[in-house]
Structure 1
């Protein structure tokens, strides 16, 4: 019996990186929005996860209760879902979300005053530019943290987002590191965070 030459196995074509990875909050707004418009449910979840803190922070800045902030959040998500195909400037998504969240909060407050029989305010409140700048800055920091390596990302959260702040010993225990190494790694992580922020135009 004559054996033929072994046939070469056909390799499957490699997909581009962006097609092989699942959507995440670390993706750019443009990439997430395009994926959402293609019907990608994971992209929608990632987009909301990326901006949930920003949306919540708007009514909280105005003194809203957690319940009212949750109502505003739901309203903004619904409007974003319906308006997503019509957004003209995806690069301005952050400021658009801030404006919509503020408008939803003001409307909610007027409705609550009317139901309570109180006189509604006649002046139209506007979102102060300084507030928009502050909220956008906070969002840029959140996005920069998401771009850090996983260990740095977790360390930043443990050191700066926990209330009350955790001592180095607890941070080291949670990360499985030596307590004496926390200070050095912290400096390296903050340097990387600063670099990402500078690249983003912060």
Structure 2
């Protein structure tokens, strides 16, 4: 029997065994994938097992035991680590400072831009129709007006808010070889 026939023959058995043996919190498909990997490693190293169905059952149970052990050893976090970093006082202070800078820049925009951006950023989550009615302009001119106002805001903020640092290492030019 060649390898592809063996894999086709074992697929339904593996699916059923994995569904029956998968520990709580582990997807049966993950267990299946682990067993497929073990089977392919076995075939590559020593050829197909002499009794494939028995080998498959033993391997599924062994992988399920391994997954239970690793699942028990894993620690769950009360909050995501990234969320904890976002809530640190330094980040909160920086975020508040950035919000103040943006609000100040919005107030200095020309024409109707301060009112338009205030309406767009409102916590009331107004629709374009409601914003156009509130500002007394047509709904069709709201998009171009918004684009113009955001362009002005970008230009104002470019000088006031520093661009974020590059990530990773920056290559520095080496002096020419002597």
User: TM-score, normalised on structure 2?
Assistant: 0.40
The structure that has the greater radius of gyration is: 2
User: TM-score, normalised on structure 1?
Assistant: 0.35
Pick 1 or 2: higher relative contact order, CA cutoff 8 A, min separation 6.
Answer: 1
